[in-house]
Structure 1
Amino acid sequence: MSHSTPPAGNVPAGLPPEQLPPVSGPLTGHEQGPPRTSIFVKELLRGSAVTTILAIVLALIVGGILIAFTDEDVQAASVYFFARPGDTFVAIWQSVYGGYEALFRGAVFNYKAADFAAQIRPLTNALGFAAPLIAAGLGVALAFRVGLFNIGARGQMLIGAMFAALFTFHIDLPMWLHLPLTLIAGIVGGALWGGLVGVLKARTGAHEVILTIMLNYVAYYLLLWMIRTPGLLQREGTNQPITAATPETAQFPDLFGPRFPQLDWGFVIVIVATIVVWWVIERSSLGLRMRAVGENPHAARAAGISVQRIYIYAMLFAGGLAGLAAMNQVQGSVTTGFTAAIDAGIGFDAITVALLGRSRAWGTFAAGILFGALKAGSFSMQAQGIPVDIVLVVQSLIVLFIAAPPLLRAVFFLPKTDQEKAAQARAKAAKQRAKAVEDKAVAS
């Protein structure tokens, strides 16, 4: 009687090795990791996209609380809350729902309008408001990627508008030549003003924040003086500080006709600018050098990159994009003549847009559309008796929550990042060491 020899490695007979179940565990040395699905979900919840969405949601929740507190019906019903609490909750629901419903109708789709063109007009208004925000935000975001905190978009917009009015408003040209010439003049004006910051930063080491703040004031008072001086930019026949109207041949045509006056071809140019910025930063060799300087200028210099030159290039680009934002105002929204307030706060809102967009081209584009929608919808909210400042509070809260991811993770019980876990472990270890030293001192 013959006996079969067991397979090598003491593997049970009857099943080939490739069909045996895998063995894992701490005793085998092959401990199985977490499932891929859980890893994907955890990384998704840690991602910037989820953080941004939750920041917007939390800001809207806080905004709804503010709407309820400022509503007169809620205040009246809260007086007898303990007698009839349902009235207070109904009033809160009606105030918050009415406010955000008005925001939606004013920014996205007005389902109460008579025809389809009137129903989608709010969306075109939101895109029109978003165009200059996107352009200026791209300039700030590009500077952020190079490690520069450009808060001079306002001054760059003012100088861009001044260049356009000074060099192109008083000439008579056909539209195919006058419109692009005016656009180029505004972009060049903003680029020169931004490039001045880059040169001073590169040559003298002056901080760009101080430079841009000071140059904002210089640009404002320079433009104010020019529109108050006859023969320069002041409109003929008036003593008011306002320029002449933008020539019709220099105005952006409406993109979809006169029924949608807020949306013009300037928005298409902004889309092209977004594509160009994305390609320059993410795909070109210049963008590689810019990102290297933004990550570590000392290492970039050691690698042979001219950090000073990159600073100048970055601020030229940033100023030119701010000039494009000014042209969206001068050639699109404000064509009856502009004052020294032509920037309309866009230069500072651009910082918020760039932060919300994570300094990425398409993220800034999406953030600009969001803020344009909030601006368009704020007028409908104001018609409902809701203070327009609520929208500004919501915008500020979005940026606040974006800048504090640990707060969002604590509110929504999201998993912590590896950096946060390491920081928590270091803090715990330091606390234990301090306690050990204290116990040792007491014992001695």
Structure 2
Amino acid sequence: MSAATETATGAPPPSKWHDTFLRITQGNALISVLAVVLALIVGGIMIAFTDEDVQTASVYFFARPGDTIVAVWEAVSGAYIALFQGSIYNFQAPTFARGIRPLTETLTFATPLIAAGLGVALAFRIGMFNIGGRGQMLMASAAAGWVAFALDLPWGIHMIVALVAGLIAGALWGGIAGFLKARTGAHEVIVTIMLNYVAFYLISWMLRTPGLLQAPGSSNPKTPAMKDTAVFPDLLGPQYNLHFGFVLVIGATILVWWILSRSSLGFKFRAVGENPHAARVAGIDVKNMYVYGMLIAGALVGLAGVSQVLGTITTGFTAGIDAGIGFDAITVALLGRSTPWGTFAAGVLFGAFKAGGFAMQAGEQIPIEIVTVVQALIVLFIAAPPLVRTIFFLPSPERDRRRAEKARQKALKAEVSADAAEVSK
């Protein structure tokens, strides 16, 4: 929706903060790629500084600088090779089946990240910041887990009922934030953060209460194991951890793409996200869009919780089942620029970081916290596009826009002068 259209409809233009929000969440895809490159470079510098061989060689750097350079190269290349072999393909494996196991681990880690990232990305497109991934995952996990271990249903039906229960629980928990924003104007960031605490302590209480989520006869805050009839089937056999949840997130990605790109509801979502005032003037019920959007976003994040319960942690779960995925999803959505397939790719990348980080720690004794720092740096660089453009000498779109506007005005003045000269003749 252009500024001219907004002026014609009488709606005020978006605020400065709203414009900044859109630039960060829906900016140039090239900035996302370069942000990852920069984060990996900074991560490599940190690896070099913490490596013992580099520290030893640096003592006599001015006498033999080549030793330090070689040590830095070996430390950084060794770490990133280990990261690759732990997340994509292990060339040292005796068979191809063993070699591709890291890739399957990457996709397994990526499954909940993609689902939760889609929920955050969809909220971004409506102009909302969904920080409530943890709470939505916990409530979905509790609902799906209870159905999975408490009910006796046939195979297939049991899994579907548990899945639907988890999606509904996540949708309702996310819908609370949308409803409060629509009816009372409560900011979704505050509401979702508070709902995270409510969900965490509610689930913690249920895990300590016999007859609710706590395993019978146990004093530990843990649920019983999920029944086999409710567990997601393996995609590639029992030797791999990849499960049916990955197929579901592919379907969820296609669904979100269709909603945003091909449906009237998606058009309304995007219109509200661009400028809610103009959307309201155009006849869109902005309040309902907030509610519908957070319901769908909550269901998507809930799918991440269901994947954890029915696909990864089937032996029973605790209140820490979210494993920080609800917050990592924000990074995934930002890196994916709030687009469905961009979020999918970002989720796979972060899944590779998680899978390869363990191999990097085991093989090269690199602290796994380095991977966490790299993820944080990605967010930092994405939120600072001018810094990335300056480092890589990229042109500023604002400067190009101003130059184009000046050229247009100059051409308009020349045309007016020519018309005036023609009239004077």
TM-score, normalisation: structure 2 = 0.87
2:335 alignment counterpart: 356
Distance verdict in 2 for CA 1:344–1:187, change over 3 Å = same
- In the aligned structure 1, how far is the partner of 2:315 from the partner of 2:33? 39
**1:285 and 2:287 are equivalent in the alignment:** no
Task: Report Cα offsets for 1:364-422 as digits up to 9, x if no partner.
Answer: 00000000001100001111110001111111111211222221111111222145663
Q: Deviations over 1:238-293 (max 9, x none)?
A: 100001111111111110111212x1111001000000011001110001111111
Distance 2:372 2:115 in 1: 20
1:217 equivalent in structure 2: 197
Encode CA deviations 1:56-110: one digit per residue, 9 max, x unaligned: 1111111100000000111111111122211111111110010000000001110
Q: Residue type matched to 1:237 in 2?
A: G
Alignment match, 2:307: 328
Distance 2:191 2:383 in 1: 25
Tell me, yes or no, if structure 1 residue 396 matches structure 2 residue 376. Answer: yes
* The 10-residue stretch of structure 1 (97-106 or 77-86) with the greater mean CA deviation from structure 2: 77-86
Is the aligned partner of 1:407 residue 2:406?
Answer: no
- For residues 23-82 of structure 1, the C-alpha deviation after alignment (integer angstroms, 9 at most, x for no partner) is xxxxxxxxxxxxxxxxxxxxxxxx823322221111111110000000011111111112
Number of equivalenced pairs: 379
Shift of 1:165: 2.5
Paired residues of 1:162 and 1:223 also in contact (CA < 8 A): yes
* 1:134 maps to which of 111, 114, 118: 114
Aligned to 1:376: 355
Task: Tell me how far 1:164 sits from its aligned partner.
Answer: 1.5
Separation (CA, whole Å) in 1 of partners of 2:249 and 2:184: 33
Q: Is contact 2:35–2:382 with CA below 8 Å preserved after alignment?
A: yes
AA partner of residue 403 (structure 1):
A
Structure 2, unaligned stretches of length 5 or more? 1-26, 407-425
* Structure-1 residue corresponding to 2:104: 124
**Structure-2 change in CA distance of 1:398 and 1:76 (3 Å):** same
- The answer to whether the 8 A contact 1:117-1:259 is kept is no
Partner deviation per Cα, 1:128-160 (whole Å, 9 max, x = no partner): 100100000000000000011110011000011
Residue of structure 1 equivalent to 2:416: none
The answer to whether the 8 A contact 2:206-2:214 is kept is yes
Distance 1:273 1:148 in 2: 20
Distance in 2 of aligned mates of 1:337 and 1:344: 14
Q: How does the TM-score come out when normalised to structure 1?
A: 0.83
Which one of the candidate residues 28, 42, 50 is aligned to 1:48?
28
- Structure 1 CA distance, aligned partners of 2:186 and 2:278? 20
Runs of 5+ consecutive residues of structure 1 not aligned to the other structure: 1-46, 427-444
CA distance in 1, matches of 2:51, 2:232: 41
Distance 2:145 2:391 in 1: 50
CA distance in 1, matches of 2:181, 2:52: 53
Q: 1:309 is matched by which residue type in structure 2?
A: N
Q: Which of 317, 322, 325 in structure 2 is aligned with 1:346?
A: 325
Please give the residue correspondences for 1:117-196 in structure 2 after superposition, counting only pairs within 5 Å.
117-196=97-176
* CA displacement at 1:166 relative to structure 2: 2.9
- 1:168/1:258 Cα in 2 relative to 1: closer, same or farther (>3 Å)? closer
- The CA distance in 2 between the partners of 1:192 and 1:64, in whole Å, is 43
Pair member with larger Rg: 1
For 1:418 and 1:211, the matched residues in 2 are separated by 34
Instruction: Compare relative contact order (CA 8 Å, sep 6+) and give the higher one, 1 or 2.
Output: 2
C-alpha root-mean-square deviation of aligned residues, in Å?
1.6
- The secondary structure found in structure 1 opposite 2:156 is helix
> How far 1:113 moved relative to its partner?
0.4
Q: What is the distance in 2 between the residues matched to 1:55 and 1:272?
A: 28
Distance in 1 separating the partners of 2:245 and 2:206: 26
How many angstroms apart in 1 are the aligned matches of 2:300 and 2:46? 35
For 1:360 and 1:158, how far apart are their aligned partners in 2? 25
1:78 aligns with 2:47: no
Q: Does 1:207 align with 2:197?
A: no
